[in-house]
Copies of this chain bind each other. A is one copy, B any other.
Amino acid sequence: MSWLLDETHLADLARGATLLGTGGGGDPYIGRLLVAEAIKEHGPITVLDPDEVDDDLFVIPTAMMGAPTVMVEKVPRGTEPVVALRTLEERLGRRAQATMPIECGGLNSMVPLLVAARAGLPVVDADGMGRAFPELQMETFGVYGVHASPMVVAGDRHETVVIDTGDDDVRMERLARACAIQFGGAALIAEYAMTGADVKRVAIPRTLSLGIGAGRAIREAREAHRDPFAALAEYFAGTIYRNVRPLFRGKVTDVERRTTGGFTRGACTVTGHDDGVLELRFQNEHLLALRDGVPVCVVPDLICVVDDTTAEPITTEGLRYGQRVVVLGISTPDIMRTPEALAVFGPAAFGIDQPFVPIEQLVTDEVRQPLAV
């Protein structure tokens, strides 16, 4: 069933999308302000359930790309993603009937809402990453045969670049990234145009709702003075993500972060209050968690660093020495764990020399009371 998204959903969505950003995806804060403004001006946004869209609905997903460290500082005008969408419509000779996220984690939970409000389009409740990923080819869309080209990169002076690399989404990513760097490290994009029939086949369903639901679970637990970790575990158990696993509790004792080649890369060490060390490696997003050198969560499963009391998610660019954190692992849906999917965004795609093992096999403990202090 379609439903209306209004300003009251945005705080929960921002929190939940930051959690699903698994450290990256860009802080949704500025995107949230832009969406709130657009909803105030244009009214609430119609959200379409992916299982119910017409097979011939024409969908153009929209997003921001760039290093999260840049995205939090380079505020978009807000009109660029609409320029990207319109430019792609011109190239394709067809008007979009809906937009959709390509990524449900971080800022990109908000960008399609901005486009939806401004362009008067509904948004489809689905995405192609099921979390955040650093590169544009890391999409179930491409894995299952819907490719990015032609795609548009738009800059803040409404410059446009239309890239067509046929079915080579990696080459598309390289070209788009090179352009985004020229646009100052971040840019707005429209890509992976598809039909409603494609959405049903290649997208991860209801991940916009998932962000709102996860954010709401944390908020409501806090309001009720319940353990937010238990609330999260309970919420995810009712979704296709299913499992939340505690990976570690401790203090951030080291963060190394570089913005190179259009990405934020680095590592973080969390030291246990009693003993033990958890190491996190990231490229925009967390990719690998090693507990005392042993893998406990591997991409594409989600590694989420949150405040150890409030469960507020912390992004990789927000990591600071001394933060007291809990690190959670969350399992990804089956559509993201097939051999074809793992070839595109499994550990080997990031140069990580570890096999993918599902979090629920690596960590058999479930989240139980009392995890919160």
Which A positions have Cβ atoms within 8 angstroms of B?
Answer: 87, 91, 155, 157-166, 168, 171, 174-175, 178-179, 181-182
Identical subunits present: 2
Alpha-carbon distance A136/B161, docked complex (angstroms): 16
Q: Which residue of B lies closest to A165 (CB)?
A: B159
* Most chain B C-beta atoms within 10 Å of own C-beta, residue among A91, A158, A160: A160
Complex partner residue of A161 from B91, B158, B175, B181, CB under 8 angstroms = B175
5 closest A-B pairs by beta carbon, nearest first, are A178-B178, A162-B162, A159-B165, A160-B164, A174-B182
Bound complex: CA of A182 vs CA of B174, how far in Å? 7
Residues of the B chain whose Cβ atoms lie less than 8 Å from the Cβ of A166: 157-159
Closest Cβ–Cβ distance, residue A83 to chain B (whole Å) = 10
A324 to B19, CA, bound (A): 68
Which residues on the B side are within 8 Å of A182 (C-beta)?
171, 174-175, 178
Nearest B residue to A181, CB-CB: B178
Could you list some 21 contacts between A and B, CB below 8 A? A87-B164, A91-B162, A155-B171, A157-B165, A157-B168, A157-B171, A158-B166, A159-B164, A159-B165, A159-B168, A159-B171, A159-B175, A160-B162, A160-B164, A161-B162, A161-B164, A162-B162, A171-B182, A178-B178, A178-B179, A178-B182
Q: Tell whether, in the assembled complex, residue B168 and residue A179 are in contact, meaning their CB atoms are under 8 Å apart.
A: no
Q: How far is the CA of A160 from the CA of B150 in the complex (A)?
A: 9
A255 to chain B, nearest CB (A): 30
B161 touches A161 (CB 8 A): yes
Rounded to whole angstroms, the CA-CA distance of A178 and B174 in the bound complex is 10
